Amino acid sequence: MAGNKDFDLYRPAEEHDELRKVVRSLAEAKIAPFAAEVDEEGRFPQEALDALVAADLHAVHVPEEFGGAGADALATVIVIEEVARVCASSSLIPAVNKLGSLPVALSGSEDLKKRYLSPLAKGEGMFSYCLSEPDAGSDAAGMKTRAVRDGDYWVLNGVKRWITNAGVSEYYTVMAVTDPEKRSKGISAFVVEKGDEGVSFGAPEKKLGIKGSPTREVYLDNVRIPADRMIGAEGTGFATAMKTLDHTRVTIAAQALGIAQGALDYAKGYVRERKQFGKPIADFQGVQFMLADMAMKLEAARQLTYAAAARSERVDVDLTFFGAAAKCYASDAAMEITTDAVQLLGGYGYTRDYPVERMMRDAKITQIYEGTNQVQRIVMARNLP
Ligand SMILES: Cc1cc2nc3c(=O)[nH]c(=O)nc-3n(C[C@H](O)[C@H](O)[C@H](O)COP(=O)(O)OP(=O)(O)OC[C@H]3O[C@@H](n4cnc5c(N)ncnc54)[C@H](O)[C@@H]3O)c2cc1C
């Protein structure tokens, strides 16, 4: 990926504003009505997938040459942000489609790109990303999943854990050890298909939030795949996985922004309606100051996220710092803003009759996945601008 060096956007251009309007109206009409039910029942948001595919918004990052919308990194952020504003679980459709397929886009052969990015763009199958394992989370390079060469094939064995959209996705980017002597330089990346013999899935995890997005283990039991399904050269899988995260941490920041915006919008409306001491609680300065702080933190997080998106689009040298900083800052802000939204609704905010408690639960995951916020701080410290 050469990067678009002319990309100079710290705030959305007109076409990005237009895109936001389109996604917001689709999200409010076709995704929001099911968000509470999806959370309550812990079911996959099929309505969201159908609506996003119909509008070609399910994997907007796929380049036009492979039949995709060819959206830039900021446009992708805006799509995820607007979907997350109404349903965080549904926002994992465009976000994880980018996470799962970016290794192919960044490092795959032309043939692999054609074979896998085209069906993704058409909505024929989603993509998941399999890096984590039961005993290899923050220390992902300590993975044990093995790939052993056998003639024109690779044979994969191991367990991947916490895989978002596992079981629903058709395609899986799997990182596996090809040379145990070399630690991170002995890891390679592969495309595995749901239908490959020996692939199976664990039971869905029982989670605090993003309950509509299935998180399952992926079991690889003697999965024999053609050698041309390796992404890039042997031993480059970990580097590709990390490069991918530089870009996709910006999309997790986008998810955090969307969740926080949804909570702020709801709280703003509520305080105007709710009356105590004979007047709307919005009239109390103690409430106004909370809303001011929420909006200030959200806007600061948004500016950092959009600055990171511009760096992602241009593939700047300081992208690693900016991707980690945006994810860390926006997710911490989202946790604070959603917690304050619950506070502003008082006892009602603590119930599932109102959406802010779901948003608070959903916000928490953005501080954990694609590297915990402690790990983001390690990444930033190693890549100070
Ligand atoms: C809902 C969900 C969806 C996920 N989706 C995916 C996915 O699609 N694909 C995928 O590959 N993975 C996925 N993950 C995995 C996720 O990225 C990991 O959970 C995360 O990286 C943390 O790893 P861990 O859970 O093993 O925690 P651990 O690594 O065990 O960390 C436990 C605690 O120790 C801290 N810690 C660890 N090392 C250090 C250190 N050096 N310095 C300071 N603190 C440290 C951590 O910050 C954390 O607070 C998902 C996880 C969840 C919960």
pLDDT tens digits, 209-251:
999 999 999 999 999 999 999 999 999 999 999 999 999 999 9
In a domain, 4, yes or no: no
Q: Quick check: CB of 172 below 6 Å from ligand 1? A: no
3-state secondary structure of 109: coil
Q: Kindly state whether residues 161 and 70 are assigned to the same domain.
A: no
Angle 147-246-99 (CA atoms, 0-180°, nearest 5)?
Answer: 60
Confirm whether 364 is domain-assigned: yes
Same domain, 165 and 31: no
Q: Is 132 in the pocket of ligand 1 (CB under 6 A)?
A: yes
Gap between the Cα atoms of 99 and 74, Å rounded: 15
Residue 366 CB partners (closer than 8 Å, separation 6+): 252, 253, 255, 256, 259, 327, 330, 331, 334, 335
Q: Residue with the nearest Cα to atom 32 of ligand 1?
A: 138
Q: How far is the CA of 375 from the centre of ligand 1 (A)?
A: 9
How far is C-alpha 75 from the chain's CA centre?
Answer: 14
Residue 163: pLDDT over 70: yes
**What ligand 1 atom has the least distance to the C-alpha of 368?**
20
Has residue 8 been placed in a domain?
no
Whether 222 and 250 map to the same domain: the answer is: no
CB distance 207 to 164 below 8 Å: no
Higher pLDDT, 8 or 333: 333
Atom of ligand 1 nearest to the CA of 205: 1
Q: What percent of the chain has pLDDT over 90?
A: 96
370 has pLDDT over 80: yes
What residue's CA is closest to ligand 1, atom 27?
137
What is the overall mean pLDDT for the chain?
96
Query: Does 357 lie in the same domain as 246?
Result: yes
Judge if the beta carbon of residue 163 lies within 6 A of ligand 1.
yes
- Tell me: pLDDT of 273 over 90: yes
Helix (H, G, I), strand (E, B) or coil at 168: coil
Nearest protein CA to atom 26 of ligand 1, as residue: 137
Q: How far apart are CA 39 and CA 34, in angstroms?
A: 9
Whether ligand 1 lies within 6 angstroms of the CB of 130 is answered as: yes
Among residues 88, 122, 156, the one where a domain terminates is: 122
> Which of 71, 91, 122 lies at the terminal end of a domain, its last residue?
122
Element spanning 101, H or E: helix 88-107
Tell whether 140 and 224 lie within a shared domain.
yes
Q: Are residues 293 and 187 in the same domain?
A: no
Query: Ligand 1: which atom is nearest the Cα of residue 132?
Result: 11
Question: Does pTM surpass 0.95?
Answer: yes
For residue 47, what are the contacts with CB-CB under 8 A and spacing of at least 6?
Answer: 30, 31, 33, 34
For residues 242 and 231, membership in a common domain is answered with no
Residues marked as catalytic: 370
Here the tokens at position 50 are 């159908």
Q: Is the CB of 167 under 6 A from ligand 1?
A: no
| pLDDT band at 8; cut points 50, 70, 90 | low
Ligand 1: which of 208, 368, 376, 382 to mutate, judged by most atoms within 8 Å of the beta carbon? 368
On whether residue 6 sits in a domain, the answer given is no
Range of the domain at 228: 127-235
Exposure string (b/e) for 125-138, b if CB count within 10 Å is 16 or more? ebbbbbbbbeebbe
Overall domain count for the chain: 3
- Please count the residues of the chain: 385
Distances in Å between the Cα of 327 and the Cα atoms of 100, 138, 220, 349, 350 are 18, 15, 31, 26, 26
The response to whether residue 369 sits with its C-beta less than 6 Å from ligand 1 reads yes
Q: What is the mean pLDDT of residues 4-24?
A: 78
- Reported in sequence order, the residue ranges of 194-260 that DSSP labels E, i.e. its strands, are 199-201, 215-226, 230-231
pLDDT at 347 over 80: yes
Domain boundary among 204, 235, 266: 235
| Within-domain flag for 150 | yes
Ligand 1, atom 4, residue with closest C-alpha: 162
Tell whether ligand 1 has an atom less than 6 A from the beta carbon of residue 142. no
Judge if 371 and 255 occupy the same domain: yes
Comparing CA positions, the residue from 290, 242, 20, 292 lying closest to residue 141 is 242
Average pLDDT over residues 58-76: 96
Which residue has a Cα nearest atom 45 of ligand 1?
A: 374
